[in-house]
């Protein structure tokens, strides 16, 4: 198949926010664009939306009026599918219904040339299933953009069972030429982003369900320690619980009820109550004008210790040592040990996926305090800690005082396995590695997809490597032991890499 030329005609079916955005992207790249919507007036509304958005860019000095006029001149509104006969690529951005998509593509096969590429922007329906009713399923490929299409860089290029590799290559190259960051994936439930992202919501919901912390506190820890742009609860409120719950339920059903994708009863209740998030005025948070914004749990000021002992290597938490020294606290080091901060008879350790209470009992160390993972201990502004049930209050105050002395807001959470950031990152990495293990995509594409599609601060796989795969495996194994659930099974690829010293 010949590459798609820079002046090839691009067809877009569906002129909603996403369809109009894709039309804008293609026109900006220089292509003549045909835009169609089956609903009367919808194509004009989509075009007007493009124009309005571009005019705002002109007002801000980010785009010249001449360039806007040229871009808009390349978009033609058409009244029916017959107008797509000259299109080299037709991108479908319509309702998420298998029968409707199959019908539209079947009609296009009769209208367009034999080598016209038919692309679906579906986020949840199997590309293979869509192609099952087509005469030329080899020409069908997934081209999944993220909203808003003119801004978000990621495009998932999805190959169905019958997709010609040359067709996928052509769409990959086209996406890159449009300034996007394309990734390749097989047509499996959730593709990359909607599959790998499930634990971001699921683990926050699980911590909430078990009383580990409230929504505002979990969100704050995820943002201020994990450096995610939004916490899971504020993000679910933004997406809409009807949408988020439907995606989780769809992936769960598509994987034959694999417990790793189990939907949350908490979110189901919100959907049943009509508390859908921002769009309904209420979700996990209340968005009415007079509602008070909840604040995260933050510990009161405690005295800083005068001296600490560092036992062994703290691994990913090693930057804490320099921060402690900079705070004027005396530090001594002991080469022996398995990575701990000692303040008198109090022991602080990075969570290993166990309950703090269980690890304390096994180690016969009653005054054990766990601290959570941070993306960067040097720059993070908050840290979560949890005390063993056996620990005395003085030990908890020592831990609070230490972290406050190095400039952190301290959140004390209840004793839940893996805490908040650690269990979230471990499970995101686990799902990323499992997608690779199941030949859905490459390791590099997992990281590109999660950074480009949902703005994660690190790709899950590169983050796991930064923490250490041995640590991640240990956390996952301990989560599995604590819960006794298949949900926390460790990906075979992680085990293979750890065993191979990789």
Catalytic residue positions? 123, 144, 156, 194
SS3 369: strand
DSSP secondary structure code for residue 259 in this structure: G
CB atoms within 10 A of CB 48: 13
Structure tokens belonging to residue 317: 């938490």
Helix %, strand %, coil % of the chain (to 5): 45, 15, 40
Of 375, 335, 370, the C-alpha closest to 459 is 375
Q: Is 336 helix (H, G, I), strand (E, B) or coil?
A: coil
Rounded to whole angstroms, the Cα distance separating 22 from 304 reads 55
Give the E-state strand segments of 361-424 in sequence order. 368-371, 382-387, 409-412
Q: Write the CB contacts of 444 (distance below 8 Å, at least 6 apart in sequence).
A: none
The closest of 433, 462, 421, 448 to 260, measured between CA atoms, is 433
SS3 string, 414-458, reads: CCCCCCCHHHHHHHHHHHHHHHHHCCCCCHHHHHHHHHHHHCCCC
What residues pair up with 120 in beta bridges, in sequence order?
Answer: 92, 142
∠ CA 396-397-399 to the nearest 5 degrees?
A: 65
Residue recorded with tokens 């309950």: 355
The separation between CA 2 and the C-alpha centre of its own chain, rounded to angstroms, equals 35
What 3-state class would DSSP assign to 392? coil
Closest CA to 225 of 236, 234, 235, 217: 217
CA angle 111, 112, 117 (to 5 degrees): 140
Helix residue ranges, H only, 210-317: 215-224, 232-239, 241-254, 265-273
Of 323, 362, 347, the closest CA to residue 395 belongs to 347
Q: Which residues are registered as beta bridge partners of 382?
A: 409
Residue 109: enclosing H or E segment and its boundaries?
helix 98-111
């Amino acid at each position: 198949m010949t590459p798609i030329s820079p002046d090839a005609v691009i067809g877009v079916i569906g002129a909603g926010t996403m369809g109009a955005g894709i039309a804008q992207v293609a026109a900006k790249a220089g292509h003549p664009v045909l835009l169609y919507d089956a609903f009367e007036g919808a194509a004009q509304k989509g075009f007007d939306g493009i124009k309005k958005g571009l005019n705002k860019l002109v007002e801000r000095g980010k785009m010249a009026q001449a360039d806007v006029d040229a871009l808009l001149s390349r978009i033609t509104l058409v009244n029916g599918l017959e107008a797509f006969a000259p299109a080299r690529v037709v991108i479908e951005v319509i309702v998420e219904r298998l029968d409707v998509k199959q019908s539209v593509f079947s009609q296009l096969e009769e209208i367009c040339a034999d080598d016209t590429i038919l692309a679906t922007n579906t986020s949840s329906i199997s590309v293979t299933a869509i192609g099952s009713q087509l005469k030329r399923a080899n020409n069908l490929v997934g081209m999944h953009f993220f909203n808003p299409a003119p801004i978000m860089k990621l495009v998932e290029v999805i190959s169905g069972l019958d997709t010609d590799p040359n067709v996928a290559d052509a769409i990959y190259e086209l996406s890159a030429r449009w300034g996007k960051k394309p990734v390749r994936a097989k047509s499996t439930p959730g593709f990359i982003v909607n599959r790998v992202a499930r634990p971001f919501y699921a683990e926050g919901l699980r911590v909430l369900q078990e009383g580990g912390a409230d929504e505002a506190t979990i969100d704050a820890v995820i943002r201020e320690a994990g450096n995610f742009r939004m916490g899971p609860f504020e993000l679910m409120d933004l997406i809409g619980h009807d949408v988020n719950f439907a995606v989780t339920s769809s992936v769960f059903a598509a994987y034959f009820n694999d417990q790793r994708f189990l939907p949350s009863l908490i979110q189901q209740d919100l959907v049943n109550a009509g508390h859908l998030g921002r769009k309904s005025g209420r979700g996990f948070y209340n968005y009415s004008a007079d509602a008070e914004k909840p604040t995260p749990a933050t510990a009161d000021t405690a005295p800083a210790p005068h001296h600490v002992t560092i036992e062994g290597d703290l691994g990913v938490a090693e930057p804490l040592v320099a921060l402690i020294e900079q705070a004027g606290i005396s530090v001594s080091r002991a080469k022996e040990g398995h990575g701990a901060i000692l303040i008198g008879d109090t022991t602080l350790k990075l969570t290993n996926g166990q309950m703090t209470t269980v690890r304390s009992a096994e180690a016969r160390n009653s005054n054990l305090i766990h601290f959570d993972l941070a993306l960067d201990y040097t720059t993070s502004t908050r840290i979560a800690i949890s005390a063993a049930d056996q620990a005395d209050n003085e030990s908890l105050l020592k831990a609070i005082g230490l972290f406050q002395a190095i400039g952190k807001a301290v959140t004390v959470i209840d004793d839940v396995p893996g805490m908040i950031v650690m269990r979230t990152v471990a499970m995101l990495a686990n799902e990323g590695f499992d997608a690779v293990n199941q030949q859905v995509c490459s390791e590099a594409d997992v990281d590109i997809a999660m950074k480009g599609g949902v703005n994660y601060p690190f790709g899950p796989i590169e983050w796991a490597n930064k923490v250490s795969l041995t640590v991640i495996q240990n956390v996952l194994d301990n989560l599995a032991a604590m819960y006794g659930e298949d949900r926390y099974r460790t990906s075979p690829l992680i085990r293979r890499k750890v065993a191979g010293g990789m």
